[in-house]
Structure 1
Amino acid sequence: MITLARRRAALCALGALTTVLAGCSSGDTTGNGHPGRPAGPAATASPPAPPTLAPGPSGLTPVFSNGSRTQGRTVALTFDADMTVNQGTRAAAGERFDHPELVATLRRLKVPATFFMTGRWAEEYPAQAKAIGKDPLFEVANHSYSHHAFTSDCYGLPTVPPERMRADMERAYDAFRKAGVERPLPYFRFPGGCYDQRALRALAPGGVTAVQWDVVSGDAFATDADAVARQVVDGVRPGSVVVMHCTRSAAPTTERALRTIIPKLRERGFRFVRVSEQIRSTRVAVARGQGASDGRDFTGTP
């Protein structure tokens, strides 16, 4: 009898210990409720879709030139990485269409920026295109593949026929992907800034927002960095989009001008943002009934 009683006591003690251990284990479960297993990696949420503007009248591609004038003192610096489809021989001969020093200055000063690349530029400088696309300071948008004009009589540029306009844009996105650019944005800048209703209609099925500007830096082929800086600083208003270039051969003074522009605008209380933030602020302004202050234009006139 004593032996049987001892066995029963031992079994009761073991049962109690099992209950305690189970209770301790119940707090260490994975998302599917299995106790004791290490938790797996958390699901990574997809990045939110970049903001775009709604199509214009008759479904035309929307055109954006500046952010809201009422949503804070923000300014977006944009840089065109221009290279036409027929400039490969010039690059092979030593002409530089990139500007690593300019990109390094933006990084050093912690200035966000939007780069409008041609597909041909991304093909010529794939490592730089990929690095810009991976940098959280920057975003990459489309400047066509060929840098040929989408209208006639546009600064002497060759012209893309209407039936090839969307294909030229899509070819640039293909070049970005091949270069390793992550998440190029659905923003398009017309070569030379030239567009009309035919061009806006041709790109409409692509779902892009055309991005212009309200401040011309005048840096193309400029030789006076101070003059470029003055023109930008004097022209910027809340919500402004500034057009500049990041090609050494075509804009040799831009990097020096930035070293003046950035501190002066910061002294005036401006905050640098990417174009996507300007577009988002415009959508907020429109939702609040402040659409008159945004930079949309559907007339087809640059």
Structure 2
Amino acid sequence: MITRRAWSASLCALGAALVGCGAHGAQDAGLPERPGPSAATTASPASTASPSATPSRPPTLAPGPAGLTPVFTNGPRTGGKTVALTFDADMTADQGSRAAAGERFDNPELVATLRRLKVPSTVFMTGRWAEEYPDEARSLAQDPLFEIANHSYSHYAFTPDCYGLPTIGTARMRSDVERAFTAFRKAGVAHAMPYFRFPGGCYDDRALRELTPVGVTAVQWDVVSGDAFATDADAVAQQVLDGVRPGSVVVMHCTRSAAPATEKAVRTIVPELRDRGFRFVKVSELIGEEAGGRG
């Protein structure tokens, strides 16, 4: 049985500070098409298509034991030195007043750096973030360098005692995820990926069971960057460089007020890992490799 994961203590600071819809089906809510019952789907990632094209179905993992939502942590350790940088675009349902007062939950400088360095990336976005920054959400979605995935609508925790985050009730778990996909669609994100990252990385069997009808693959990580509220970019970069292995998924943040050192850290991380022979990929490519290995 999968039990609740207690992730690195370096996430505690982020969780402490980042504190309604019907039960519609995936199509009604604007979700990606749910995969069929095959072991895995290994089509080309959606972001390889032109913005105007209808993408092939993205790769996903088959349901876990007892039909629970599958959980992906990292790609294969053999077969190539690939690494996925992922960025959480965090904004909770109740932070609108802070945004109105001038706090910035986006990070255009980081996005510009990723584009300049040509780093494929996966952005796990909350629905509330997409509502606050629809132009940026749409721009990311239309850029083949990026893919957009779901980080819930509210950024409330799916288990109790998750780094101080408010907790969402069991009855609202599915609708919160679906509401985020709807917010993406309204912002102009036409082809969000069928991937979901739990706020704080906290989940249990109950949460996995509640999300099974949505048809997503839950995406965790194996490398914590420690960029949440960090001011020492060199320390963030070193933590990533020390932790990366072939197939790694690195969790970082693209929220300017909560992760002010991330952009500078990326300028160190990317060339160093490339010098070590690593190739940057989106999460969809790692999932495709993992799915293919299970076939």
Q: By the TM > 0.5 criterion, same fold?
A: yes
Q: Paired residue for 2:70?
A: 62
Q: Paired residue for 1:281?
A: 289
Cα distance between partner residues in 2 of 1:205 and 1:94? 38
Is 2:125 aligned against 1:117? yes
Cα distance between partner residues in 1 of 2:193 and 2:291? 17
Is 2:115 aligned against 1:107? yes
Larger radius of gyration between Structure 1 and Structure 2: 1
Cα distance between partner residues in 2 of 1:205 and 1:186? 12
DSSP 3-state at the match of 1:101? helix
Q: Which of 207, 222, 230 is 1:214 aligned to?
A: 222
Is 2:275 aligned against 1:267? yes
Do the aligned partners of 1:116 and 1:143 also contact (CA within 8 Å) in 2? yes
TM-score (norm 1): 0.80
Q: Which of 147, 150, 154 is 2:162 aligned to?
A: 154
Q: Which of 64, 83, 86 is 2:91 aligned to?
A: 83
Cα distance between partner residues in 2 of 1:195 and 1:212? 10
Q: CA deviation at 1:160?
A: 0.7
Q: Paired residue for 1:28?
A: none
Cα distance between partner residues in 2 of 1:195 and 1:71? 30
DSSP 3-state at the match of 1:121? helix
Q: Paired residue for 2:179?
A: 171
Do the aligned partners of 1:71 and 1:281 also contact (CA within 8 Å) in 2? no
DSSP 3-state at the match of 1:234? helix
- Please give the residue correspondences for 1:2-17 in structure 2 after superposition, counting only pairs within 5 Å: none
- Please give the residue correspondences for 1:28-43 in structure 2 after superposition, counting only pairs within 5 Å: none
Q: Which of 229, 243, 259 is 1:235 aligned to?
A: 243
Q: Paired residue for 1:48?
A: 56
Cα distance between partner residues in 1 of 2:62 and 2:176? 22
Letter in 2 for 1:60: L
Q: Paired residue for 1:18?
A: none
Aligned residues: 244
DSSP 3-state at the match of 1:97? coil
Q: Paired residue for 2:137?
A: 129
Cα distance between partner residues in 2 of 1:155 and 1:120? 20
Q: Paired residue for 2:231?
A: 223
Do the aligned partners of 1:141 and 1:187 also contact (CA within 8 Å) in 2? yes
Do the aligned partners of 1:239 and 1:278 also contact (CA within 8 Å) in 2? yes
Cα distance between partner residues in 2 of 1:96 and 1:68? 36
Deviations along 1:228-282, whole A, 9 cap, x unmatched?
0000011000000000000010000000000000000000000000000000010
Letter in 2 for 1:110: K
- Please give the residue correspondences for 1:244-255 in structure 2 after superposition, counting only pairs within 5 Å: 244-255=252-263
Q: CA deviation at 1:48?
A: 1.2
Q: Paired residue for 2:149?
A: 141
Q: Paired residue for 1:25?
A: none
DSSP 3-state at the match of 1:77? strand
Q: CA deviation at 1:45?
A: 7.5
Cα distance between partner residues in 2 of 1:115 and 1:252? 17
Cα distance between partner residues in 2 of 1:286 and 1:232? 28
Q: Paired residue for 1:27?
A: none
- Long gaps (5+) in structure 2: 1-51
Q: Structure 2 vs 1, CA of residues 278 and 152 (structure 1 numbering), >3 Å: closer, same or farther?
A: same
Do the aligned partners of 1:71 and 1:285 also contact (CA within 8 Å) in 2? no
